Structure 1
């Protein structure tokens, strides 16, 4: 997963992949972002436009 892939990926598919990685591999979103050298704002904005927000308490993206 890289920056270009995220820009072009369907938001629902991206949501699924991110939530799986957050569940299985990363304790917090910032670790995932650092590991893949992603732009946090770009990622958050893309999912926000599709109606999702990051819920730090459950470490998952959920519907607004």
Structure 2
């Protein structure tokens, strides 16, 4: 699955996948074969960072 280019859509999809399918961001990235740093940087560009305790970007 190719992730959306739009950061807001990316945020929505990633948080949904973390909530429903993946116990950690690392697991999501490994399964989807995407670089964790790239994903976190893209979401940081709109002011979001990963919260490991909540397993979501906030």
Moved runs in structure 1, 4+ residues, more than 6 A? Answer: none
Q: Distance in 2 between matches of 1:54 and 1:16?
A: 13
Gaps of 5+ in 1: none
Greater percentage in helix: 1
Structure 1 residues 1-59: Cα deviation after superposition (integer angstroms, max 9, x where no partner): 33xx45xx100000000000000000000000000110111111110011000000000
The two structures have a TM-score, normalised by structure 2, of: 0.92
Question: Which one has the largest radius of gyration?
Answer: 1
Residue equivalent to 1:15: 11
TM-score by length of 1: 0.84
Unaligned runs of 5+ in 2: none
